[in-house]
Amino acid sequence: MPASPYPTALLAELQAALSADAVLHGAEDLRPYECDGLAALRELPLCVALPTDREGVQAVLQICQRHGVAVVPRGAGTGLSGGARPLRDAVLLSLARLHHIVAIDRENRTARVQPGVRNLAISEAARPLGLYYAPDPSSQIACSIGGNVAENSGGVHCLKYGLTVHNILELDVLTATGETLRIGSQALDSPGYDLLALMTGSEGLLGVVTECTVRLLPMPEHVLVLLAAFSSVEAAAESVSAIIASGIIPAGLEMMDRLAIEAAEDFVHAGYPRDAAAILLCELDGPAVELEEQLREVETMLQRHGARAIRIAEDAATRLLLWKGRKAAFPAVGRLAPDYYCMDGTIPRQRLAEVLEQITAWSAEYGLRVANVFHAGDGNLHPLILYDANAEGQLHAAEEFGHRILELCVSVGGSVTGEHGVGVEKLDSMCVQFNAAELAQLHRIKHAFDPEGRLNPGKAVPSLHRCAELGAMHVHHGQLPFPELERF
Amino acid sequence: MPASPYPTALLAELQAALSADAVLHGAEDLRPYECDGLAALRELPLCVALPTDREGVQAVLQICQRHGVAVVPRGAGTGLSGGARPLRDAVLLSLARLHHIVAIDRENRTARVQPGVRNLAISEAARPLGLYYAPDPSSQIACSIGGNVAENSGGVHCLKYGLTVHNILELDVLTATGETLRIGSQALDSPGYDLLALMTGSEGLLGVVTECTVRLLPMPEHVLVLLAAFSSVEAAAESVSAIIASGIIPAGLEMMDRLAIEAAEDFVHAGYPRDAAAILLCELDGPAVELEEQLREVETMLQRHGARAIRIAEDAATRLLLWKGRKAAFPAVGRLAPDYYCMDGTIPRQRLAEVLEQITAWSAEYGLRVANVFHAGDGNLHPLILYDANAEGQLHAAEEFGHRILELCVSVGGSVTGEHGVGVEKLDSMCVQFNAAELAQLHRIKHAFDPEGRLNPGKAVPSLHRCAELGAMHVHHGQLPFPELERF
C-alpha cells in the first residue's frame, strides 16, 4: 500500500459496488496502467476500476462524486498524446471489460457495441455480412471504439470515409455525476444541439461512453494500390494536389520522404525505391469499371508530375506488402536513433511543399534529422524528429523544433493536431491555436457538462493561466481576461 | 410609433452604430418581418437591424447587451419551424445585407461566404469552375447559408452528400456578448471540442455566424433519374430498403403516395402514373461507366419488388420534369384542402412500411386525409395532414394527429424533426424526444454560450417547466429535477 493517506472508504465502496478483483490498488497491479501510448509521462493512479457493465461504470462515477475524487477514463491505452494518462489522486476508470458487440443490423448497416470493443473486431464481426467499419487508426488491432470516440480517430482511409465522428450514429453516455444521456439517433440528423459531434473528440472530459452505434459500409468491390516514386518532395506534393483537384477521392493517399523510405525498406523490405526523394501510395476502391478509369487518370497525373517507377498492386498480397512499409514507418524510423519525437499537425494541402522546405531548413539549423510520413491527401503531417535524449540539449532542441513546426501549421491555416489529440502533450500548442475568448468558450462547455471538473482534469484544454505564462495571452494588471474561469 | 414604452435610447444607439436606414421601427416597415416560413405565428419585433458587415453585427450585439435586450437572428426567413419568428421585446437581427461571396478556392474546393449569401448563389458562382455546393433545401433559391447553418439544412441530395454540417469547414461567429470565435479549420479536423458541429443546427441560440467556409464538390460527370410506379406503398418501401442495403447510394431517393401523386400531377403535369399507389424517384450520379452498372442493378431490384412503368430520364429537360412534380408537391397538396399541416419526422428506413400503415389507420380514425411525401432514402417523412381550420375541431384533430405521428417516430427509434428544425413549432415534441437529464444538458450548453439567455430566447429547447406541464416529466414535491435550471 502507498504511504500517502489512502481513501480506504472510497476503495471499499468501489469493491462493494463492483467486485474485489475489479478494483486494482497494489503498486504492482497499477504498474501496467502508469501511462498510455505517450510513454514518456508516467504516474500511478489512485486505483484502477474495471467495471463490466454500464451499471458498474455508473456506480464508479457516483462513488467518485460522493468522495470528490477525479476520474480518468481509459480505453485500450493506445493514445499518443497522454489523454488516458493516470493522475495519482484520480481513479482510473478502464472500459476494457465492456467488450461486447451487442448487435449487428445488416439492413440498416449499423453495429451496436460496448466501448471496450476493439476497432478491428467490429470489421471482423461484420465481414460475413460483407460490411466493415471504415475508420482504421494504425493501432486498430488494439485500440477500442470508446477511445476512438474520445479522440475522434482517423486513419489511412479517413480521406474518403471520414473520421470517427462521420461513422457513428448514437452514443449512450454517462456524465461525471453518473447521469445517463442518449445522444444522436439512428436517423440522419437529430434535434437539439449536436452533442454527438461535441462528445466525439472531447478526450474524456465531458462524459464516459457506455455504448456506441457505428455505421458499417459495404466492402468495396475492388481495391488497388499504386506506388509512385519522385525525385523531389515538391513533385510528389504537387501530384497530391492534382489528384485531389481532379475530383477523384482515393481511399488513401500517403506520402513518405527519403529517410522514412530507407528506414521502412531496411525494416520490412516492402520493395520501395531507395533512391526516391519521396514516394506516394495511392489506394483506389470502388466498382471495377470505375477503378479502371480512375487508374488511368491517376497514372496520367502522376506521370505529368514526373513520377517514375509506378507500380500497381491489384492482388491482396502485393497490396499488403506495399502498405506494410507505410504501416511500419514509425517503428522503422525508431531504429535510426535512440529517440524520436512524433509530430502530428495539419495544413491546407496546397501548402505542403513550402512547409516541408521550412522543416528541412530547421532540421539543418537544429542538427536533428527528420523523417516525414504523412496522410498527404488530408494534409496531416507526421514529421518524426530524431534525437538522443542522453546527448546534452537534444531533447530540448527536439521539443523546440516540434513546437515551431506546430506554430507553422497554425500560421498557414492548419491545426496543432491531426488525429492524435491534445491530451497532455499538446496543451501548450493549444495556446497558439486558440485565442483567450475561444479557450474560455471551451472551458464553459466543460463546465456545462462537469461543473466540478472531475472528469480527466488537466487534459485537452489548457488553463488560461498556462497560456498566460507561455506569453501566448495578454494579462492586464495581473488579471486574466475571463476571471470567472480562473479555476480551470 | 407604437404606444408601448419604447426604448428610444436603444434605437438611437443602433442608428448611430449602423445608419438610419439600417434600423427599421415603424409598424409598416416591420410588417414584412412579422413571421418566417411558419406563417401561422406572427409578432412584430421591437425593431429590425440590418447591418452590412461583421462590425455592424458586433455593434448590434454589444448595444443589445448593454440594454439587456434579446436578439433574434434572421437569415432569409424561409424556415418552417418558426426559428426566426420575431419577439415583440427583441431586436430582429437580419443578416440579409451580409451577402458577399468573399472568395472561391478552386484548388482546395472551398468558398468563403457571408451569411446572407443565398444557397443557390454559391453553386452559381462556382459553376464556371466545375464545382457546386451540395446541400439543396427546397428553398435554395431564397434561403441563405447562415440560415442553413442555423438549421443544419438538408435537401434531396443529402442522402449522398450529407447535411450542412458535413459541407462546411470553418465559421466566424459572434457570441451574444459580441465576442469573436473562429470555429473549425480548413483542415479535416481541428482540436478542442467540435464547436463547428455544435453551432450547426443550434437555431441561432448559441451565436451569430458572420462568415462561413463551405466545401465545394466537382459536378458529377453524369446524372440520371428513374421513376418507378408501385401498386402498394409497402412494395415501394421495400425497394428503398433493398437499394440502400445493396450499397448503392443514390444522389436522391424520394417517395410519394397516391394522394401526393395525384395532386402533383394535376398541378404540374410531370407525367406521373395516376393509378400508382406510390412512386419512387431515384437519382444516380457519377462517372458514366459506373452509372450504367448501377442503373442495371437498381432496375433489377425495382422489378423484383413489383415496380412497373419504370422510366429513365438522362437528359436535363426530362430529369427536371420528373423532379418538378416532387418539388411542387407541397403547394400541389395545398390545393386539395383549405389547410394542411406539414410534418417532418425521421424513422429508421426499415420501419417505413409499418409507420405508413399506422398513419393510414389514424387518417381513417380522425377523418383527415394525409398525403405522404418523403426523403425515403434517409427515412425522413413529410406527411401532410389535410384539414379545414374553419371546420369545428379539425385544427385540433390535425395537431393531435401530427403529435401522435411524431411520438411514433420517436418510439420506433427516429426523431421529431428531420430537417425543418424545432423552432417554436416542435417545442412540445422535444419533451417526448428527450428526458429531463438530456434537456438539462442542452440548457447548460446554452448557458455556456449565452448565460443571460438573450439570443433567440424561447426557441429550439423547451423549458423544463413546459415539459413538466405537458406531463412529459416527473415533478417531485413541486420541484423540477434540475432546480438550478429553473429559469430556462
How many angstroms away from the CA of B195 is the closest CA of chain A?
Answer: 7
pLDDT at A485: 66
Closest CB from A193, A289, A379 relative to B293 = A289
What mean pLDDT is predicted for residues A246-256? 91
Instruction: From B94, B116, B150, give the residue that closes a domain.
Output: B94
- One domain, residues A107 and A207: yes
Lowest mean pLDDT among A471-480, B111-120, B259-268, B278-287: A471-480
- One domain, residues B107 and B55: no
Radius of gyration, CA atoms only, chain B: 23
* Residue A420 within a domain: no
pLDDT digits (tens, 9 = 90+) for A358-371: 999 999 999 999 99
* Residue B190 within a domain: yes
pLDDT at B4: 44
- Asked if A189 and B418 come within 8 Å (Cβ–Cβ), the reply is yes
Give the three-class secondary structure for B183.
strand
Chain B positions touching A186 (Cβ under 8 A) are: 348, 413-414
How many angstroms away from the CA of B3 is the closest CA of chain A?
Answer: 37
**For B422, which residue in chain A has the nearest alpha carbon?**
A191
**For A461, which residue in chain B has the nearest alpha carbon?**
B192
Q: Is the pLDDT of residue B97 over 80?
A: yes
pLDDT mean across residues, chain B? 91
- One domain, residues B135 and B195: yes
A with B: how many residue pairs have Cβ under 8 Å apart? 228
How many angstroms away from the CA of A359 is the closest CA of chain B?
Answer: 19
Q: Is the pLDDT of residue A3 over 60?
A: no
- Asked if B245 and A106 come within 8 Å (Cβ–Cβ), the reply is yes
Distance CA A296, CA A301 (A): 9
Pick from B178, B196, B177: which is nearest to B187 by CA?
B196
* Residue A421 within a domain: no
Give the three-class secondary structure for A130.
coil
pLDDT digits (tens, 9 = 90+) for B372-424: 998 888 888 999 999 998 999 999 999 899 999 999 998 998 888 888 899 99
* Residue A392 within a domain: yes
- Asked if B442 and A192 come within 8 Å (Cβ–Cβ), the reply is yes
Q: Residue A75 maps to which CATH number?
A: 3.30.43.10
- One domain, residues A26 and A73: yes
Q: Tell me, what amino acid is at B118? A: R
Phi and psi at residue B86, in whole multiples of 5°? -70, 165
Pick from A161, A321, A329, A164: which is nearest to A252 by CA?
A161
Distances (CA, A) of A151 to A145, A205, A327, B247, B421: 10, 11, 20, 28, 29
What mean pLDDT is predicted for residues A270-276? 93
Q: Residue A374 maps to which CATH number?
A: 3.40.462.10
pLDDT at A484: 66
- Asked if B245 and A109 come within 8 Å (Cβ–Cβ), the reply is yes
- Asked if B444 and A449 come within 8 Å (Cβ–Cβ), the reply is yes
Q: How confident is the model at residue A486 (pLDDT cuts 50, 70, 90)?
A: low
A469 Cβ partners below 8 Å, 6+ apart?
A: none
ipTM of the complex: 0.80
Lowest mean pLDDT among A53-62, A146-155, A466-475, B437-446: A466-475
Q: How many CB atoms lie within 10 A of CB B255?
A: 27
- One domain, residues A63 and A51: yes
The whole-angstrom distance between residue A52's C-alpha and the CA centroid of its chain comes to 25
What mean pLDDT is predicted for residues A143-163? 93
- One domain, residues B84 and B118: no
pLDDT digits (tens, 9 = 90+) for A417-450: 888 899 998 898 899 889 999 999 999 999 999 9
How many angstroms away from the CA of A262 is the closest CA of chain B?
Answer: 29
Pick from B399, B393, B420: which is nearest to B340 by CA?
B399
Grid coordinates of B465: 417547466
How many angstroms away from the CA of A167 is the closest CA of chain B?
Answer: 12
Chain A positions touching B442 (Cβ under 8 A) are: 192-193, 195
| CB of A259 closer than 8 Å to CB of A274 | no
- One domain, residues B251 and B212: no
pLDDT at A2: 42
pLDDT at B392: 92
- Asked if A191 and B107 come within 8 Å (Cβ–Cβ), the reply is no
* Residue B28 within a domain: yes
Q: Residue B290 maps to which CATH number?
A: 3.30.70.2190
Phi and psi at residue A354, in whole multiples of 5°? -70, -35
- Asked if B185 and A107 come within 8 Å (Cβ–Cβ), the reply is no
Would residue A325 be called left, alpha or beta, if left means φ above 0 and alpha means ψ between -120 and 50 degrees? alpha
- Asked if B415 and A185 come within 8 Å (Cβ–Cβ), the reply is yes
Q: Is the pLDDT of residue A204 over 80?
A: yes
Closest CB from A185, A197, A245 relative to B107 = A245
Q: Is the pLDDT of residue B19 over 80?
A: yes
| CB of B212 closer than 8 Å to CB of B146 | yes
Instruction: From A201, A218, A235, give the residue that closes a domain.
Output: A218
How many angstroms away from the CA of A115 is the closest CA of chain B?
Answer: 20
Chain B positions touching A350 (Cβ under 8 A) are: 107-108
Dihedral (Cα; B157, B160, B165, B166), 10-degree rounding: -140
* Residue B170 within a domain: yes
Half-sphere exposure of residue A284: CA atoms within 13 angstroms, side-chain side: 23
B74 Cβ partners below 8 Å, 6+ apart?
A: B33, B36, B84, B86, B92, B93, B94, B95, B96, B147
- One domain, residues A331 and A205: no
* Residue B62 within a domain: yes
Closest CB from A197, A287, A416 relative to B194 = A197
Q: Residue A195 maps to which CATH number?
A: 3.30.465.10
Q: Is the pLDDT of residue B45 over 70?
A: yes
What mean pLDDT is predicted for residues B220-246? 92
- One domain, residues A213 and A226: no
Q: Tell me, what amino acid is at B218? A: P
* Residue B350 within a domain: no
Q: How confident is the model at residue A4 (pLDDT cuts 50, 70, 90)?
A: very low
Distance CA A218, CA A134 (A): 10
**Percentage of chain A surpassing pLDDT 70?**
95
Q: Is the pLDDT of residue A283 over 60?
A: yes
* Sign of the C-alpha dihedral computed for residues A187, A189, A192 and A194 taken in this order: positive
- Asked if B447 and A449 come within 8 Å (Cβ–Cβ), the reply is no
Distance CA A418, CA A426 (A): 11
- One domain, residues A272 and A363: yes
How many angstroms away from the CA of A437 is the closest CA of chain B?
Answer: 7
pLDDT at B363: 96
pLDDT at A5: 52
What mean pLDDT is predicted for residues A166-178? 95
Q: How confident is the model at residue A243 (pLDDT cuts 50, 70, 90)?
A: very high
What mean pLDDT is predicted for residues B141-168? 94
Chain B positions touching A349 (Cβ under 8 A) are: 107-108
- Asked if B154 and A447 come within 8 Å (Cβ–Cβ), the reply is no
- Asked if A202 and B188 come within 8 Å (Cβ–Cβ), the reply is no
What mean pLDDT is predicted for residues A303-307? 95
pLDDT at A29: 94
Domain count, chain B: 4
pLDDT mean across residues, chain A? 91
Task: Give the structural domain span for A399.
Answer: 222-411
Q: How confident is the model at residue B3 (pLDDT cuts 50, 70, 90)?
A: very low
**Residue of A61, A148, A194, A416 to mutate, interface with B, max B Cβ within 10 Å:** A194
Grid coordinates of B35: 413571421
**Residue of B62, B441, B446 to mutate, interface with A, max A Cβ within 10 Å:** B441
Instruction: From A186, A218, A250, give the residue that closes a domain.
Output: A218
Q: Is the pLDDT of residue B488 over 70?
A: no
**For B184, which residue in chain A has the nearest alpha carbon?**
A415
Closest CB from B181, B293, B445 relative to A437 = B181
How many angstroms away from the CA of A270 is the closest CA of chain B?
Answer: 29
pLDDT at A203: 97
Chain B positions touching A413 (Cβ under 8 A) are: 185-187
- One domain, residues A456 and A377: no
Distance CA B34, CA B31 (A): 5
- One domain, residues A379 and A319: yes
pLDDT digits (tens, 9 = 90+) for B334-346: 899 998 888 889 9
